[in-house]
Chains A and B, each alone.
Chain A
Amino acid sequence: MFPFCFEWKWDPDHFIFLGFLYLVLIIIGTGLGIAFLKTSAQVLGFMRERHFDH
């Protein structure tokens, strides 16, 4: 999963597979991060609370 496994060889297949994997993990992490940061900002008063319409 990381490039420092001893028999690891980067080839196009690895680039594609791990590229997509890291992309997905980054997107999910970013999303969670945004939600968390917005919540913190709203709780601490830096941001207005937006009412959610279902």
Chain B
Amino acid sequence: MNPFDAALFPEGTKRCSLKLFIAWNIPWILLLLWGLVGAVLCLYKGLNQTNMTDYFAFALWIVFDLAVIALGAGAFFTGFLTYIIGKKELKDIINAAVLIGFICYSGAIAMLGIDIGQPLRGWFIFWHVNVHSMLAEVSFCITAYLGVLAIEYLPIILENRQIQRIKELRLFGNNLHEIMAMFAATGTFLSFFHQGSLGGLFGVMYARPFAYREGFYVWPWTFFLFVLSAIAAGPCFTILCTRLAEFITRKKLVPDKAVQTLAKIAAYLTGIYVLLKIVDTLVWAYKLTPKAGLTLMDYYKEGPYGIWLLIAEVIIFGIIPAIILLIPKARQHPGWLVVACLMNCTGIVLNRFVFTVVTLAIPVMPFGRFVSYWPTWQEWGIALALVGYGFLLFSLSYRYLPLFPKERELNP
């Protein structure tokens, strides 16, 4: 017997029963509820509901924001490769990439709305902009890019079988598709700048030797490293999400060619990134740090954030996945590809964590103390709600929209 909502499924596809689908989404809805409670408390009672302090001005949410924005870079980069460079095979994965991007960015902005002390004043960042601030640049580009992502996601929604029957909506979706290259180009431009500016946030802090980097004109080297790491890890995250979807639905959803194109490009980008990151780390450790009167180990002499973090970020979750991805046989092996992608994404998340939390944990004044931090349940709730939101929206999109154009062909 056909599932109750079969009329909404993409043409010729099979989906599980509605009951099973609802049961599958219950954990994600619970996560969202947990986040909602946390959010209401923070908005009503204030940010004292978190464990953030005057020392830890940036904490779990900012780490999550930076991490998901980096991982969601697969959207703009795949769009760039598909529509601007012309890699046609990526058309089979671009929808999923756009959706992942949309989830990441909308979730990040929602979380930021709770993170700032005066959410109702959020628009001041646009109205009273300080154009020299990296954060202003970040906010403008992320907001504009979320608009672009929404415009890129909209045609996918309009391709729902029932919505397609409405002529106006079908035509609108088609017309959007035809000019998608223009949006992809705009998205690429916006993403380049905000991924970079997120790195610039920390690189410009010349009074924090741990984070500060020199650079090119107004852009510290972290600007370029963040862009590079985002376009290296973004495709890997897209691959991981696709593989997870394939694992859960027990179907092949994307042709190998698309995955391998992304994997190969990610391989080279990761390799270049890791090399440049090592150079940057050495310059920072042996030139910039002594200028501030410190040695590298001065940063790591107290607290849980030891030198192992640097080794983990750059070597274990940097060099190793780069090597695995660069070896064609490993890249083509399904198991090794997933391992490499996981390690690569972990490395990028570690990188974002180091620049936010560790930067703030390390005292700058000689008589300052190292401080530590652990999030409250309200913070965890809001952060994990993003995960729940992602799973929920992805599941809904997979069930009702032609998220994977080659699904029918690969599952006759």
Contacts and interface: CB of A to CB of B under 8 A. Distances in A.
Judged by CB atoms under 8 Å, the answer to whether A and B touch is: yes
Contact of A28 (B91, B140, B151, B172): B151
Contacts of A31: 151, 179, 182-183, 186
A28 B127 contact: no
Contacts of B175: 34-36, 38-39, 42
Contacts of B167: 43
Identify which of B174, B178, B182, B183 gathers the most chain A CB atoms within 10 Å of its CB: B174
Contact of B147 (A28, A34, A50, A52): A28
Interface residues on B, range: 20 to 34
B131 A28 contact: no
Contacts of A14: 131
Contacts of A34: 175, 179
B189 A24 contact: yes
Contact of A43 (B127, B151, B171): B171
Interface residues on A, range: 20 to 34
B272 interface: no
A43 B338 CA distance: 47
Given A21-B140, A28-B147, A54-B91, A5 B171 contact: no
B131 A13 contact: yes
Nearest to A7: B128
Interface in B355-412: 405
B129 A39 contact: no
A38 B175 CA distance: 7
Interface in A1-44: 1, 5, 13-14, 16-18, 21, 24-25, 27-28, 31-32, 34-36, 38-39, 42-43
Contacts of B137: 17
Contact of B178 (A16, A28, A32, A50): A50
Given A1-B129, A5-B127, A31-B179, A52 B190 contact: no
A36 B168 CA distance: 10
A43 B174 CA distance: 13
B190 A24 contact: yes
B182 A27 contact: yes
A52 B173 CA distance: 10
A28 B144 contact: yes
B177 to A, nearest CB: 5
Contacts of A50: 174, 178
A17 B131 contact: yes
A35 B127 contact: no
A34 B180 CA distance: 12
A39 B168 contact: yes
A31 B362 CA distance: 47
A42 B228 CA distance: 43
B191 to A, nearest CB: 12
Nearest to A27: B186
A13 B132 contact: yes
A10 B177 CA distance: 38
Contacts of A52: 174, 177-178
Interface string B182-217: 110010011000000000000000000000000000
A11 B16 CA distance: 60
Contacts of B186: 24, 27-28, 31
Interface string B109-151: 0000000000000000011110110000100100010011001
15 contacts: A1-B127, A5-B128, A14-B131, A17-B131, A25-B144, A28-B151, A31-B151, A31-B179, A31-B182, A34-B175, A36-B172, A38-B175, A49-B174, A52-B177, A54-B91
Q: Across the A-B interface, give the 5 residue pairs with the lowest CB-CB distance, nearest first.
A: A17-B131, A35-B175, A52-B174, A39-B172, A38-B175
Interface of A: 1, 5, 13-14, 16-18, 21, 24-25, 27-28, 31-32, 34-36, 38-39, 42-43, 49-52, 54
Given A1-B126, A1-B129, A5-B127, 13 more contacts: A21-B144, A24-B190, A27-B186, A28-B147, A31-B179, A31-B183, A31-B186, A36-B172, A39-B175, A42-B171, A49-B171, A51-B174, A52-B178
